[in-house]
Amino acid sequence: MTELRRRLVEFARARGWQPYHTPKNLAAALSVEASELVEIFQWLTPEESARVMDDPDRAHRVRDEVADVLAYLLQFCAVLDIDPLTALAAKIDRNEKRFPVPEAGPVTDSPT
């Protein structure tokens, strides 16, 4: 991930795009790409959504949007000097305390 982040930062620098890459703009771009991922699924049933990778064209589109989301997330983190893996590890630690596993085993209460 560090190497991909370096390539993304260099990619933007070489094209003179840094002035556009404010945290505000990158957060908006991230949300736009996340919505493009939602768009692929918007009319699918839950069952159809589980089989989305069976169609090669759609599978390519899904991977492409995943890449876009991750790209903007890494660029956002780069401009604000955030380590997303450290942030996520801390969040999982907090959530493991906040949502203890029920002693009787898995339940099916809705996630938050």
List the interface residues with a copy of itself, window 72-111 (CB under 8 A).
Answer: 73-74, 76-77, 79-82, 84-85, 87-92, 95-96, 99, 101-102, 105-111
Give the nearest distance from C-beta 39 to a copy of itself in angstroms.
5
Distance CA 12, CA 87 (A): 24
Give the nearest distance from C-beta 51 to a copy of itself in angstroms.
9
Distance CA 37, CA 70 (A): 12
CB 106 within 8 A of CB 100: no
Instruction: Quote the DSSP letter at residue 20.
Output: G
Instruction: Quote the DSSP letter at residue 107.
Output: -
Name residues contacting a copy of itself, limited to 9-68 (CB under 8 A).
11-17, 19-25, 27-32, 34-46, 49-50, 52-53, 62-64, 66-68
Give the nearest distance from C-beta 56 to a copy of itself in angstroms.
14
How many residues belong to the site for a copy of itself (CB under 8 A)? 78
Distance CA 36, CA 31 (A): 9
